Amino acid sequence: MRTVPRHLFVPGASLEAAYAQDTVAIKQDSQGRVISCASHPAIVAQMLEQLDVQPAHRILELGTGTGYNAGLLAFLAGPEGLVTTVDVDDDLVDQARTHLTAAGFSNVSVVMGDGALGHLAGAPYDRIVATVGAHGVPRAWFDQLAEGGRLLTPQRLRGSVCRSLAWERDPARAGSWVSVSSEMNTFMPLRKGVADDAQIPVPLTEDGRVALQTHPEHDLDANAFTGVLTGPRAQVWTDVRVEGMESPEWMELYLTLTLPNGLNRLIYDPSAVKDGLLAESPYRSSGATFTDTSIAYLVQRPSTTTSPEGRKLWDFGVVAHGPDRSQLAEQMITALNAWNTECRPRTASFRLRHTIPNDETPHTVRTDSTFRIRTPLNEIDVVWA
């Protein structure tokens, strides 16, 4: 990352912005929403470590963006390696070619196409990496992987909860895959293709300052949520506490597997907190669930106690609005307490099987310490160790 010049891939950004620990937006849709960006450098590095590229590897990247990650992959694979990178937008493809040429890379092929289809002409690949989010993993990605190869994809598991999962073939089960690495991660979703995973905001206020991010498996009447935040509020605090730097990733995963509509993102302008529409300390990550007419979300506050080592703690609570607020708050509290007592010391591993696409609503089934997620493309077992 010290060798590949990131500023050449984001020529519209200042040098400070090009090398900051932050994303750099490069394309927006007609409504001003960012649909492509140069990823956060720490996330880029994390995924490169998960992918474990070796010299002379043949690599397929799905989601070209600026071309910067393709340049990093080409550097790692060396002059004997070859990187093929695919993007759905012709303007991004043209820009990436220009950037890669300016940076001196000749072992990268930039192709326009639907990333969900992979790129059969260059298969098989030793490594396949998606730099776009996917809900299900397209079969083509696995089919185009070489024997002993590894696939890495930022995957939306349920609700808005995503993880960067590295998959390798399960030697004990034909057609099955096991995770060899798992990290908390979120990327822009696939667009314009056979495996789109749209993010669908449902406004919770007339002025649009607060919205609930939903997904294709959710079927909501947006009108049913009009004014929901101005009605009565149920607020409950728990004994669930975390340290300031403690990652909430396993809590989010457990809650999204447990709650009927998963754990989803609450999108809001800070003024909504200042004006009292939202509680003063809404949880900033994936922290909301809902029914057809009601919504509940996680909140945090500084705890009055400290850890045994004297470190600062934060209490978790739940705020709920709507006709089902009491029941929904209780559901969320029950799930929080269950994670805290049953699964908090544990992490999860993942198994994936191909399934035939169907029209059934994705759902979860739990047996003991295993949750099974069904998406239109796969079945995934989440196993708490």
Which residues are designated catalytic?
Answer: 36
Please give the Cα distance from 154 to 81 (Å, whole number). 24
Handedness of CA 95, 96, 102, 107 (dihedral sign): negative
Question: What single DSSP character describes residue 77?
Answer: H
Kindly give, in sequence order, each residue whose CB lies less than 8 Å from that of residue 305, ignoring residues fewer than 6 positions away.
Answer: 241, 313
Kindly give, in sequence order, each residue whose CB lies less than 8 Å from that of residue 351, ignoring residues fewer than 6 positions away.
Answer: 170, 176, 177, 178, 179, 380, 381, 383
Kindly give, in sequence order, each residue whose CB lies less than 8 Å from that of residue 86, ignoring residues fewer than 6 positions away.
Answer: 60, 61, 62, 63, 64, 111, 112, 113, 114, 115, 118, 119
* Listed residue (43, 56, 38) closest to 99, CA to CA: 38
Please give the Cα distance from 288 to 282 (Å, whole number). 10
Task: Check: CB of residue 379 under 8 Å from CB of residue 157.
Answer: no
